[in-house]
Amino acid sequence: MTQHTAILIFANSSTKEAQNKGFHKSEELFKNLNNLVIKKAKRSNLPYFIINENQQIGNSFGERFANAIQSIYNKGFNNVISIGNDSPQLKVSHLLKANQNLKANKFVLGPSKNGGFYLLGLNKADFNYNNFKNLAWQTNTIQKAFLKHFKTLKTEIRLELLKDINTKKDLYYFLNSYKFIHHITRRLIVAILNKIVNHFTQYSLAVKHFTDGVNFNKGSPTLL
């Protein structure tokens, strides 16, 4: 059966993602998240392609993303479902729903709580390379920019609102508020948070050791 839709996993390698996010020793977490998103793509039974920083072409994020999507269209697909690696709540059902709506000629967006999106479903006929690459990428207004642009083109389908992993606060959110994440992901999040706590504890002890014995006069100057 001819496939009209392909999944684009547009995500950095675990090493690069750990560097970008700035979490202390988090490479294993993003390796786990990369593996999980690949498994979900496979379970959808849709063709999928991975484009990480080693295959991306362009000087800006928007240009690299636009080139990645164009490369999928160039393979003969009419629809692209683009996802990343930092949304543990992403389900196979989200991919299947996106595919169903794309076949009905609808634009699909999976919004994230930080103002971006975890999933983008786009038909080739609606893809304008120059407009796409010049959007306000990597800002909290990108979701609004997309919706404003595509509302003039066709019916928009919005999936449920999910959360991405971008900050330490997000790690606590997934640990405390989302009990259905993969058990290995949970264990790795716990390990990262423990390392962060230990790092700052050691830093605080070092500062305390340095300042012990130093007389800081917090009151009025001493009269001589």
pLDDT in tens, 74-110: 999 999 999 999 999 999 999 999 999 999 988 899 9
Residue 151 has pLDDT above 60, yes or no: yes
pTM of the model: 0.82
Q: How far apart are CA 96 and CA 44, in angstroms?
A: 6
- Mean residue pLDDT of the chain comes to 83
CB contact at 8 A, 67 and 57: yes
pLDDT at 60: 94
| E strand residue ranges, 3-53 | 5-10, 48-51
**What is the per-residue pLDDT across 24-54, written as a single tens digit (0 to 9) for each?**
678 898 899 999 999 999 999 999 999 999 9
Task: Give Cα 119 distance to the centre of its chain.
Answer: 9
Residues with Cβ within 8 Å of residue 138, at least 6 apart in sequence: 61
| E strand residue ranges, the chain | 5-10, 48-51, 79-83, 107-111, 117-123, 156-158
- Write down all domains in the chain, each with its CATH number in brackets: 5-164 (3.90.550.10)
